[in-house]
Structure 1
């Protein structure tokens, strides 16, 4: 299942607005097929894996990161029907699909066909891999990642605004990889005016994955950009990366719209520089605790990346 969930991440963000799903087919201890949701949402992961397996799918076990769909659309049959027709013997599912057209119906259809079904295997990990789609489905808003690149003392620039470059090559390359995994990227007017950022992906082979560019402003946006008036007004985007600057970051934090935090820290001290954040509406220090969970920490050259997720109760 962990392999199926890892495969599902390959579909982000191109599977949107459909969920990014991964599927692995195993026959006699050997992987005979694998797949993930293709760009535009079709074909689904199960269809890709079944096509790769061919006749080896008969009697196999399918590991799927999301409950196979139970509704046929104009672009293809339901995945639960495809698994039944292929003759799989067992289906292991990470998370149940919250879509009312499938919610439980895919599992029931498989069981009615005599297939052994096990579900809720690594559900939290599967939901994390599908976080943009899941957040849009459950809350009607984009999943927001906030990126901050700072000095050890929490500055994002010198006092005069110079910020190129605080972090090194490896950290910046990782930042470009993050861009490639988001549908849209946002900066504030101050960052736009000071840096004229391109916000494209400059990694070999991923140049075509540059996200849509959003400008947080109460005014208009230049050609190639879309104006966004407030954090709550981002529409039609499931995965949003907020890159700067301090006012934009603070606005999203104050609105409690940040779900994931990327904190890149360079081993430098600036002193008297521009802080990473302004006022985020905190009035009691006790309220600052228990809001963030560390989920990853690594060195990127001489820089450190810490990844935090917002702790939410649903």
Structure 2
């Protein structure tokens, strides 16, 4: 196995980018499986391509090899994640590549899933196939942050979303908050939900806003009905809510809503991975819940939608903790910023 670096051949980078674009087509539909793309190249020409559309359906390599047909013999396969080596609901993709007669396989990154974890590469190499690992690894891993983190640490990737005014307020003192941000920002939140295996909120948010926390967008590139519905978790330490078909609250009428009634958020996150295969978690809640996740250093990514308005000092704050000195502040690195309608979206990572 050879390992690529930043000087990797331009051709490999080009075709791996095409494979990444293929993988993106399954971004919202593959949970709990990772989104994977594959491109088959013969003499510098793409002869086959495919992506993994949904758990239980064939993997990306299968679709790409079928597309390439006999042209796969002697070709190079570009895959965004190490081909699997085990039999689950589908046969091992590494064996499929071997059987098809490909000559070389270029892989963005190894699969940390213990069922794979280098075994796919080993099978390919034992069959005499030239394997290169490490082409556009960072870009490919960005598609599957939750899956990769869960396989490596048994903890999910946690995104915290906050919609706020310029002065850091999320609602009026009465709780009125619909709507601070624009339609464009709220549409973007639909993408975050579609990426998520579970959405975590607080009982106060349920009582105040009566949210649905579902995926209903028509602008995802796939019908909303094809997106696996995110599980909803309500933090309810005071046991103010319960399942009831006659409940006043929409989430309580959902029989699959999970109520979490203790303070151990780490235990919750571990359970979501081990018991429910939820690898990407979105926190949509008020200041208290947001602060709990932040102060316990459980947030991997903070997404702030900031509207160009001022709500005043009596409005509700975006967080509910009070550091006593600058040494206790929580600092972040801005990864990207973009304008959505009139609003600003900031994506930040904890330092």
Aligned-pair distance for 1:161? 1.4
**CA 1:302–1:207: 2 relative to 1, 3 Å:** farther
Write the deviation string for residues 124-161 of structure 1: whole angstroms up to 9, x where unpaired: 22222111111211121221111111111111011221
Are 1:83 and 2:97 counterparts? Answer: yes
Q: Distance in 1 between matches of 2:259 and 2:347?
A: 28
Aligned-pair distance for 1:7? 3.1
> Hey, what does 1:277 align to over in structure 2?
319
Contact 1:216 1:227 in 2 (8 A): yes
Query: Match of 2:40, SS?
Result: strand
Write the deviation string for residues 223-278 of structure 1: whole angstroms up to 9, x where unpaired: 31211234221422211111111111111112211111111111111112111001
**CA 1:41–1:14: 2 relative to 1, 3 Å:** farther
Bigger drift between 118-127 and 300-309 goes to 118-127
**CA 1:250–1:54: 2 relative to 1, 3 Å:** same
Q: Distance in 1 between matches of 2:324 and 2:61?
A: 49
**CA 1:189–1:116: 2 relative to 1, 3 Å:** same
Q: Distance in 1 between matches of 2:110 and 2:147?
A: 14
Gaps of 5+ in 1: none
After TM superposition, list the pairs within 5 Å mapping 1:23-38 onto structure 2: 23-38=38-53
Are 1:227 and 2:259 counterparts? Answer: yes
**CA 1:263–1:86: 2 relative to 1, 3 Å:** same
Q: Distance in 2 between matches of 1:10 and 1:41?
A: 16
> Hey, what does 2:215 align to over in structure 1?
201
Q: Distance in 1 between matches of 2:333 and 2:136?
A: 18
Q: Return the match for 2:234 from 191, 215, 222.
A: 215
After TM superposition, list the pairs within 5 Å mapping 1:122-137 onto structure 2: 122-137=136-151
**CA 1:65–1:292: 2 relative to 1, 3 Å:** farther
Write the deviation string for residues 270-299 of structure 1: whole angstroms up to 9, x where unpaired: 11211100117x56534546x533222111
Gaps of 5+ in 2: 1-15, 243-251
Q: Distance in 2 between matches of 1:213 and 1:15?
A: 18
Query: Match of 1:244, SS?
Result: coil
> Hey, what does 2:297 align to over in structure 1?
256
Write the deviation string for residues 201-243 of structure 1: whole angstroms up to 9, x where unpaired: 2212315534222211122542312112342214222111111
Bigger drift between 123-132 and 155-164 goes to 123-132
Query: Match of 2:349, SS?
Result: strand
Query: Match of 1:62, SS?
Result: strand
> Hey, what does 2:4 align to over in structure 1?
none
Q: Distance in 2 between matches of 1:178 and 1:24?
A: 27
Q: Distance in 2 between matches of 1:207 and 1:18?
A: 18
Bigger drift between 103-112 and 151-160 goes to 103-112
Q: Distance in 2 between matches of 1:213 and 1:80?
A: 36
Contact 1:13 1:239 in 2 (8 A): no
Contact 2:33 2:54 in 1 (8 A): no
Query: Match of 1:40, SS?
Result: coil
**CA 1:308–1:4: 2 relative to 1, 3 Å:** farther
Contact 2:29 2:226 in 1 (8 A): no
TM-score, length basis structure 1: 0.90
Alignment length (residue pairs) = 308
Q: Distance in 2 between matches of 1:26 and 1:287?
A: 53
Contact 1:13 1:183 in 2 (8 A): no
> Hey, what does 1:191 align to over in structure 2?
205
Bigger drift between 49-58 and 77-86 goes to 49-58
Are 1:295 and 2:335 counterparts? Answer: yes
Query: Match of 2:86, SS?
Result: coil
Q: Return the match for 2:112 from 78, 84, 98.
A: 98
